[in-house]
């Protein structure tokens, strides 16, 4: 019989629509972060660093990038004879086939996967936060308190508490009540969406809710367990934890990494963040290059000037170009004499010579003012920007654009230029 | 490919001076991320050679640390694999490897058990890319007994520390001299040989009976007029790193765009052990020009015409020029380092000045940490 004390189920099927064009072709957990990483690397690395070697990754939205990235789990040491990483997409059944309709529904549909390992505990994770966490210590807490369910929580400023699911605990950290996005929060302990369940309790609750439409942990499963007097405990986490749900918070979290002593430390020898390292050569700096306050991934060629930026792997920045306060992701090529300010350029984009990004006064974005805001310019994956064009702020560009898309060589602030699918 | 690979990685080299104190030559870091044996291993795996044996002796642990898993070079397969041979005591022998031929002789059972008709022998201290299919096809076409890969050195490069070769118009080797006092030819052996497995076993058995232990001297040179030995000339990049000058020069070659393109970006890739370093970080007051910087570094000073290997820290106000900083070196504030090779895991005190005059200077500063290679 195969027996694992604890297995992890990582929810990686969500789109993360507030990241706009970054998630138009990949699920949010596959989006690049911190130069060389992808968001899912953080929970996956925490799993292996916490001694959890069996991880089911539940995918649904645009899984190609995620599947390619994870492969058989070699970068995270999750290529195992027994256990390891398994990609779990929704599948067709004899009767009543459906997509994953909610977080808990997705887990319910993979009951057989979980049962095959006979786990005592199941760790539920989501693939869209940046953090390092020792799940082993959370499990110890769970066992010590003989909890049925332990929920990881994080103290947040009281005024922000109304944006989260809030847990109200007694002095022993036992959860006595909880409320979803309360108007007048009674506590500042926000749920991080990380749960440890006794497997028996999880199974029972999922079976009970199997016909609930959109079965969700926060909305259905946890309230159901509370009602049935399962003991719920809150495990307080005090490290760095960042939800990178919006473009602005995504940009800010990346920018924090270039501080002299960043709050989130990637340089810990014994808690490494692993990722799929397909490019490894050193980065080369040309004779007229300049760089300050930036982090740069492997295999980059920098001939221009880079300030206050996060540069992914295999990026080329040509002579005379200045990149400032920007995120340039893997494989992007930027031509000569460009001026790039406060931009997020997704993977494998090509920007021609003499292009200016982020110039002029801000204006509200014409299609999604809620997403493309704070003066950011966002360029989608594999996009092409022709030479000699000037582009404003709060702009989104996606697809192969040509000079004719830029009358007088200008795309003013607030514009959306989406040529995805146009050949 | 119907060949088994042998990599000769046993020797030390006094030409490496202090750099070989704690590691085998084949474990020397190259170009910011590789170890020199990666080039032979990658050439083998990229030529679809599934079985590779590595013979090691001098400071073998440094190499074994690097070769702790075969999966980075794609050798962890059901057919084939990566075999590490160090000297061992058996019922018939308790000897160290007395030479390259002896290393093979002591593991002759391995070769007898293989089924591949050919053997590719390569040394582990050279920087190159090669498709061994080309060499094998040449070997078969020439109906050679042994084929030796060779290269014309640039006229200014001394050939005296290599095996020098003179060939006739058809490519057959007429003269082969190992480390001549005065080199008459500028064509040198690259240390890569192709021959039939059965012939190798025969030659090794004979050498063993005659108490001869060196593959080059006692087989290639000795049999140069008896066996049909052909030279396969390569025009691609090839460099041996087994002296401080050549090691320095080879690394500096990687500052050239064409060399970077060839090794870093062109197909096929050179594989190496993955170390999962975070991106390199640059703080304020930094100037980096014409240099290679590996991941995991934190740079606060000026770096010109240099290579900074993984995980190094360069303090504020430092000036690094024409130097090679090996892995995990900590350089305190205000240091000046010119024309130096700084040994890995070193701790350079703030304000230190090191300058190499003429030849690159080797800087070894013990850090008190556990001495890894």
ipTM here: 0.90
- B76 or B269: whose pLDDT is higher? B269
- Interatomic CA distance for residues A82 and A70, integer angstroms: 17
Residues B21-44 pLDDT 10s:
899 999 999 999 999 999 999 999
Top pLDDT among B367 and A310 is at A310
The residue among A397, A361, A365, A360 whose CA lies nearest residue A378 is A397
CA end-to-end span of chain A: 54
What does the alpha-carbon distance between residue A29 and residue A26 come to, in Å, rounded to a whole number?
8
CB contact under 8 A, A75 and B307: no
The fold for domain B281-363 equals: UDP N-Acetylglucosamine Acyltransferase; domain 1 (2.160.10)
Q: What pLDDT is stored for residue A160 in this prediction?
A: 86
Residues of chain B in contact with residue A310, where contact means CB-CB under 8 angstroms, are: 279
Q: Which two tokens stand for residue B145?
A: 């007994």
Local structure of residue B17 (DSSP, 8 states): G
Predicted local confidence at residue B77, as pLDDT: 85
* Contact at CB, B289 and A272, closer than 8 angstroms: no
Residue B371 clears pLDDT 70, i.e. is over it:
no
CB A360 within 8 A of CB A377: no
Which of the residues B78, B129, B279 would you substitute to probe the A interface, choosing the one with the greatest number of A C-beta atoms within 10 Å?
A: B279
User: Is the Cβ–Cβ distance between B303 and B288 less than 8 Å?
Assistant: yes
Contacts of A295 in chain B (CB under 8 A): 278-282
Q: Which CATH code, of 2.102.10.10, 3.40.190.10, 3.90.550.10, 3.40.640.10, is assigned to B3-265?
A: 3.90.550.10
Which distant-in-sequence residues (6+ apart) come within 8 Å of B185 by Cβ? B159, B164, B165, B166, B175
Q: Which pTM value belongs to this model?
A: 0.92
Q: Is the pLDDT of residue B366 over 80?
A: no
pLDDT-wise least confident of A53-62, B86-95, B321-330: B86-95
Q: Does A294 touch chain B (CB under 8 A)?
A: yes
Backbone dihedral region for residue A293 (phi beyond 0: left; psi -120 to 50: alpha; all else: beta): left
Q: Which residues of A230-266 are buried (b: 16+ CB within 10 A; e: fewer)?
A: bbbbbbebeebbbbbebbbbbbebbbbbbeeebebeb
> Which of residues 209 through 248 in chain A touch B, CB cutoff 8 A?
none
Check B295 against A34: CB less than 8 A apart: no
User: What sections of A209-340 are H helices per DSSP?
Assistant: 222-227, 247-256
Return the H-helix or E-strand segment holding A43.
helix A41-49
Residues 213-242 of chain B whose Cβ lies under 8 A from any Cβ of chain A: none
Q: Indicate the average pLDDT of chain B.
A: 94
Who's near B204: CB < 8 A, 6+ residues apart?
Answer: B101, B104, B105, B108, B219
Query: How far is C-alpha A264 from the chain's CA centre?
Result: 15
Gyration radius of chain B's alpha carbons: 21
pLDDT for A223 equals: 95
The ranges assigned to domains in chain B are: 3-265, 281-363
**Which tokens go with B22?**
């704690």
* DSSP-derived secondary structure for B53-111: EEE--TTHHHHHHHTS-SGGGT--SSS-EEEEE-----SS--PPP-SHHHHHHTTHHHH
pLDDT of B338 reads 97
Q: Which ranges of chain B would DSSP assign to H, the alpha helix?
A: 37-46, 60-66, 100-105, 108-113, 132-141, 197-209, 215, 244-253, 257-260
Max CA separation in chain A (angstroms): 70
Backbone angles phi, psi at A27, to 5 degrees: -70, 155
Closest residue in A to B311 (Cα–Cα): A267
- d(CA A344, nearest CA chain B) in Å: 18
Q: By the CB < 8 Å criterion, does A331 face chain B? A: no
Is pLDDT above 90 for B358?
A: no
Q: Is the peptide bond preceding residue A349 cis, with omega within 30 degrees of 0?
A: no
Among B residues 29-48, those touching chain A with beta carbons less than 8 Å apart = 31-33
Per run of 10 residues, the mean pLDDT along chain A (length 423 residues) is: 95 91 95 94 97 97 95 94 95 91 96 97 94 96 98 92 92 93 92 96 97 94 96 95 91 93 85 86 95 96 97 96 97 98 97 96 95 96 97 96 95 94 69
Q: Do A283 and B293 touch (CB under 8 A)?
A: yes
Query: Phi and psi at residue A234, in whole multiples of 5°?
Result: -110, 125
Show which of residues 45-74 on chain B sit within 8 Å of chain A, judged by CB atoms: 71
| Residue B372 pLDDT class (50, 70, 90 cuts) | low
Phi, psi of A120 (to 5 degrees): -85, -35
Q: What is the CA radius of gyration of chain A?
A: 23
Residue of A nearest to B254 (CA): A284
């Amino acid at each position: 019989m195969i027996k694992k004390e604890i297995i992890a189920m990582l929810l990686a099927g969500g789109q993360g629509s507030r990241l706009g064009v970054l998630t138009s072709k990949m699920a949010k957990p596959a989006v690049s972060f911190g130069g060389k990483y992808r968001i899912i690397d953080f929970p996956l690395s925490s799993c292996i660093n916490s001694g959890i070697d069996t991880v089911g990754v539940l995918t649904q939205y645009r899984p190609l990038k995620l599947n390619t990235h994870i492969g058989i789990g070699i970068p995270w040491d999750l290529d195992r004879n027994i256990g390891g990483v398994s990609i779990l997409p929704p599948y067709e059944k004899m009767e009543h086939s459906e997509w994953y309709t909610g977080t808990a529904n997705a887990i319910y549909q993979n009951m057989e996967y979980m049962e095959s390992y006979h786990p005592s505990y199941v760790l539920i994770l989501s693939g869209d936060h940046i953090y390092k966490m020792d799940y082993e210590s959370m499990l110890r807490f769970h066992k010590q308190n003989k909890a049925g369910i332990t929920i990881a929580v994080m103290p947040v400023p009281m005024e922000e508490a109304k944006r989260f699911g809030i847990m109200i605990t007694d002095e022993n950290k036992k959860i006595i009540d909880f409320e979803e996005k309360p108007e007048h929060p009674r506590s500042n302990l926000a749920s991080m969406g990380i749960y440890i369940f006794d497997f028996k309790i999880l199974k029972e609750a999922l079976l009970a809710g199997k016909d609930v439409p959109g079965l969700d942990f926060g909305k259905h499963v946890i309230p159901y367990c509370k009602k049935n007097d399962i003991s719920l405990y809150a495990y307080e986490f005090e490290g760095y934890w960042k939800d990178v749900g919006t473009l602005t918070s995504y940009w800010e979290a990346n920018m924090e990494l270039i501080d002299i002593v960043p709050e989130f430390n990637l340089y810990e020898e014994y808690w490494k963040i692993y990722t799929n390292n397909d490019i490894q050569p050193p980065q080369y700096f040309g004779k007229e290059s300049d760089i300050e306050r930036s982090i740069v991934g492997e295999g980059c060629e920098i001939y221009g000037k880079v300030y206050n930026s996060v540069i992914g792997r295999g990026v080329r920045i040509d002579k005379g170009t200045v990149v400032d306060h920007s995120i340039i992701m893997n494989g992007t090529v930027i031509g000569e004499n460009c001026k790039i300010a406060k931009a997020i350029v997704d993977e494998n984009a090509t920007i021609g010579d003499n292009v200016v990004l982020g110039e002029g006064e801000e204006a509200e974005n014409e299609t999604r003012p809620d997403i493309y805001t704070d003066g950011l310019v966002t360029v989608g994956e594999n996009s092409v920007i022709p030479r000699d064009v000037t582009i404003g702020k709060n702009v989104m560009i996606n697809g192969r654009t040509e000079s004719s898309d830029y009358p007088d060589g200008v795309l003013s602030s607030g514009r959306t230029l989406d040529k995805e699918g146009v050949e | 490919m119907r060949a088994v690979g042998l990599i000769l990685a046993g020797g030390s080299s006094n030409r490496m001076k202090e750099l070989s104190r704690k590691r085998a030559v084949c474990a020397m870091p190259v170009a910011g991320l590789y170890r020199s044996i990666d080039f032979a291993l990658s050439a083998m795996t990229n030529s679809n050679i599934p079985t590779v044996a590595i013979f090691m002796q001098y400071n073998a642990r440094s190499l074994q640390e690097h070769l702790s898993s075969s999966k980075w070079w794609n050798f962890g397969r059901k057919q084939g694999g990566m075999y590490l041979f160090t000297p061992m005591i058996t019922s018939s022998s308790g000897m160290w490897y007395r030479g390259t031929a002896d290393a093979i002789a002591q593991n002759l059972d391995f070769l007898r058990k293989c089924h591949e008709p050919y053997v590719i022998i390569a040394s582990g201290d050279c920087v190159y890319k090669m498709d061994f299919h080309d060499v094998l096809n040449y070997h078969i076409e020439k109906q050679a007994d042994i084929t030796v890969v060779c290269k014309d050195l640039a006229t200014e490069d001394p050939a005296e520390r290599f095996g020098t070769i003179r060939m006739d118009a058809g490519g057959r080797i007429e003269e082969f001299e190992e480390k001549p006092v005065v080199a008459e030819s500028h064509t040198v052996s690259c240390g890569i040989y192709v021959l039939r497995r059965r012939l190798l076993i025969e030659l090794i058995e004979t050498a063993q009976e005659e108490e001869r232990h060196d593959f080059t001297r006692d087989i290639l040179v000795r049999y140069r007029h008896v066996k049909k030995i052909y030279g396969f000339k390569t025009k691609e990049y090839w460099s041996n790193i087994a002296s401080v000058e050549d090691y320095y020069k080879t690394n500096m070659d990687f500052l050239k765009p064409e060399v970077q393109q060839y090794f870093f970006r062109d197909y096929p890739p050179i594989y190496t052990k993955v170390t999962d370093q975070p991106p390199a970080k640059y703080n304020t007051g930094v100037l980096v020009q014409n240099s290679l910087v590996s991941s995991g570094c934190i740079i606060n000073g000026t770096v010109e015409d240099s290579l900074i290997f993984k995980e190094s820290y360069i303090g504020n106000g430092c000036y690094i020029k024409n130097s090679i900083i090996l892995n995990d070196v900590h350089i305190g504030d205000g240091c000046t380092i010119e024309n130096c090779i700084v040994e890995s895991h070193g701790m350079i005190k703030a304000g230190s000045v090191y300058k190499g005059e003429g030849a690159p200077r080797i800087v070894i500063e013990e850090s008190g940490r556990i001495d890894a290679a």
